[in-house]
A and B are shown apart, each in its own frame.
Chain A
């Protein structure tokens, strides 16, 4: 099956810093999504981005499908950005394949 690798696995930043999270995948995909899991376990969908670039406030994402990677940018980090960020590919009847996530801690 398809492999999804996320980096870095852990990231500790000060409030106000910017960060870039990376997701590499082993095969072509037509469905890529980024999620944020908060400390209470809730998975929030940040982006559905099989290709191209999207922005939502302080967050933006870029997927280069031909090179099999996606990037999630977080600018001006806030403590509420802490949590685990997951990249997932595939979907539909085959379900999403998730990476192991990037654990982000934003310190005040």
Chain B
């Protein structure tokens, strides 16, 4: 069974631009969640989707958004990029949300 797939692996953007990251969960998993990892703040929860519905969102500004499609694939979008958005963005999937979580390899975003 294929693992969680995130694309792209690396991204370089400039301030003010927007970016879209993609995540394909493990087949059969319906919950997809996103996390941001930075050296200063560690791993922080962004949001969680289940059956195309966002069930919760972490403490992040509205510039961070996401969606989930009917095949459980998910995308997250960051608009009006700031230097502080530079981070490793990790996607994780699980069957229903509260069980063992499986992470993708992440997308390393650099904002210049």
Q: Using Cβ atoms and an 8 Å threshold, which residues of chain B touch A35?
A: 103
The digit string for B9-41, where 1 denotes a CB below 8 A from any CB of A, is 000000000000000000000000101010000
A41-B88, A43-B90, A48-B100 known; A95+B58 contact, CB < 8 A: yes
> Which residues of B, 54-78, contact A by the 8 Å Cβ criterion?
55-56, 58
A42-B103, A91-B97, A92-B97 known; A100+B56 contact, CB < 8 A: no
The digit string for B96-111, where 1 denotes a CB below 8 A from any CB of A, is 0111111101101000
How many chain A residues touch the partner (CB < 8 A)? Answer: 24
Chain A CB within 8 A of B43 CB: yes
Ordered by A's residue number, 24 sampled pairs between the chains whose C-beta atoms are within 8 Å are A33-B101, A41-B105, A42-B106, A43-B103, A44-B103, A45-B100, A45-B102, A45-B103, A48-B100, A91-B97, A91-B98, A91-B99, A92-B98, A93-B48, A93-B50, A94-B48, A94-B56, A95-B33, A95-B35, A95-B45, A96-B35, A96-B43, A98-B35, A98-B43
